[in-house]
Chain A
Amino acid sequence: MIHPKLDDKNVTAFIPGTIIDVKVKKGQEVKQGDVLVILDAMKMHNRLIAPSAGKVKEVKVKPGDKVRKGALLVSIE
């Protein structure tokens, strides 16, 4: 059982919003801290970053998508 805050593989939306940019593709190698997705919410273009280094396993969103709170956006293997 891992607490979501210690999950370093799955990046989720902390609040509902609109995806305005997706910076990575499936299969791409990312470093910890790389920007994966930009989420427009709370008057901010929030940069959602890679919690750990690895290969992008899945990209669940595209620009323009409206996402719910907690929605999985990108997963890293």
Chain B
Amino acid sequence: MAVAPSALSHKADSPSCCRHCGDECGRGAVVSAHGSFCCRGCESVFSILTSYGLDTFYALDASAGESQKAGGTRDASRFAVLDDPDVASRLVTFDDGSVARVSLSIPTIHCVSCVWLLEQLWRFESGVIRAEVDLLRRAVHVEFRSGETTLRRIAETIASLGYEPVITPEDGRLSQPPPVRRLYLQLGVAGFAFGNIMLFSIPRYANGGPLEGGFQQLFDVLNLLFAIPVLLFSASDYFRIAWRAIRTGVMALEIPVALGLAVLFTRSIVDIATARSEGFMDSFAGLVFFLLVGRLFQQKAFARIAFDRTFRSFLPLSVEIEREHGYSSVPIERLRSGDCIRVRPQEVVPADAVLLDEAAAVDYAFISGEQTPVEVRCGTTVRAGGRVVGRAMRLRVAREVSHSHLASLWSNQVFGAPKTHWLTGVSARFGGWFTGGAITLAAVGAVAWWPDAAQSASVATAVLIIACPCALTLSAPVTLGTAMGLLGTRGVFLKHPAVALDLSRVDTIVFDKTGTLTTSGQGKVAPHGLSIEVLRLVQRLAAESVHPASRAIANGISELPHAALPDDRSVRDLSVTDVREEPGRGIAGTVDGQRVAIGTASFVATESRARVIGPADVTFVAAGSETGWIRISPAARAGVEQAARGLSAAHQLTLLSGDHDGERSRWDGLFGRRMHFRQTPDDKLAFVMAAQAEGRHVLMIGDGLNDAGALAAADVGMAVSDATACMTPVCDVVISGERLADLPALLAYTRRARHVVTICFAVSVVYNVVGLTLALAGGLTPLASAILMPTSSLTVVGISSGAMRWSARRMLPA
């Protein structure tokens, strides 16, 4: 190693913390010349980094490393699929034969050190020219010489540094330039024109009349020239949307906007050509500029979060299929029923298939949210979406991918139709009245001034100009866009600003239980028939495993309110040898000289040769001659019960759980009779739709694919995500688990957002009334319009973004 350890800043100075990830080192610790590590994976990442002289990684951020505990269970050849040209072509964005570019999604990128380390990729892999991290999208763009290295080797190198690339069919979106580019250009052009037109308009306003010496004509023509790119490029989207709306017979707020802009531009040309006035080009450019600023607020999308996942995103791209001569990798679309496939640990079973091996373990966390792996026996059907735990398994495909149980969930029409936001409907209706009202008023004005044809036309156009609902158009995007951004910094991600308004109207909240109200890996344990001494041994053995149930047991026993329980230190000092863990079944080992087994009844029976009896939903234990069982009741998320109690005053709360009703009594106080257990995904969907049919506005909060239908059908679907890398189903809101307790504050904040939008509507209506009065009286000069229109826009932007920021500080927890 090149650097003396004293030169490194690292929080893991104490020997019990892992030097790489900072986690506490348990008994599985690895002690090497570099220090102590919690697992073999962390040790190898650390030694790779130091051997390349990249220790800086640890100096940049105290908790830089990603824990590699899960790494040991990953298959070494899992990136073999990248050798498939079909798959590779989806990821490679550019390839001229010698140099290629690829974009890989790496959800674990989280800090400065990650950026630094990944951008040093060229030091690790000789063909790499450059690597650039995009923090926002959690991706790395790699440029490499295709002759010297391969996509697979790059992915493997990145994975060996502790950053597991996630390869899904959606990765194509990483290579596209973000759509916001066009908006920036439109905004730049409009701002440029606006500034220059103002420059040429102010002399006339200051002069109090037309300029002499031909300058007025020159300035007017220059203004016209500057305004043309604004009309053709910057404002083009408004015309396009309005035209599409007219053609399809739908009303939209863009129609009066486009009408106003068109009239404004035409009237200005006519005025300039006839030398009647200097035209309204400054108002025109300013209007487009402010409208685009409003659009910019709306486009603050959370690029790293995919809200529209289909079931395909949960499945691998390809799978290994058994042929006469070994295995070959095929894209899962080409799987046919009857094919024999091999699925490796940590991979997801792509289609409903029958197990050919004797026994295996599958974790259905994607589907049910339940993280405890399930044991399956030979001949059992493993459903698509299940993740293989422990050993690789051989399966015979029973149904093609598109016919699997998982896919049939998606065939429901709730996934087909895009959700309509309340705001869309309201603003369309509003746009309708507005257009109608403006045209009527313009006609009234024209008739009133009739004998004077020129004045009559001038008044009519002035009405249409001033009635352009610019401030109205701005108020919703700016308010809601600001709210969306502020919520995003607090761990609540909205798919679209309009979702905030949908949230504000919610009156019914439906909770999923497992993974939403409760978390795995923590919980209360209730031992039965076990002595304190045995519990100590069990606690010690359970600490050896990373399985959620084992973690819950180890944590739960240490928290048992029993005076005689020994302190943690003495438990940690117990010796453990001869540990054997069978995924999905249990763990056994010799603790302090005694043979201990924890797990399913059959596992414990085989291990201890003792007969174990007890209820079906418990974990069995045998230690020495003692046998018994432990019931784990998962812990509710911190603060969630209290939050739900707070919400129950104004909202109707319901619990829908896929589980058995063993915990009914526990949630009784909160939900009363509104609890439904053993709900299938279709039951949940039907429940949500029935509530909506009664006119209720439903917020569904869930986490797994079993909630997917309900999440998609609900007015707002909120997915709870515990890890940033976690896959969430189709939803409108992604909320991080620890923020769920803030739900009452969130809903209050969205109601505030609705009030702010209403206030802004009122303010802009006042401006419109003033403007319309002026216009009807024939007094709307270019100067009056140049003052009135930007002022109204600026007031609305100021009120809405200011109020939302102020409210966020007061109402939302930091």
Pairing of A with B? no
Chain B residues close to A by CB (< 8 Å): none
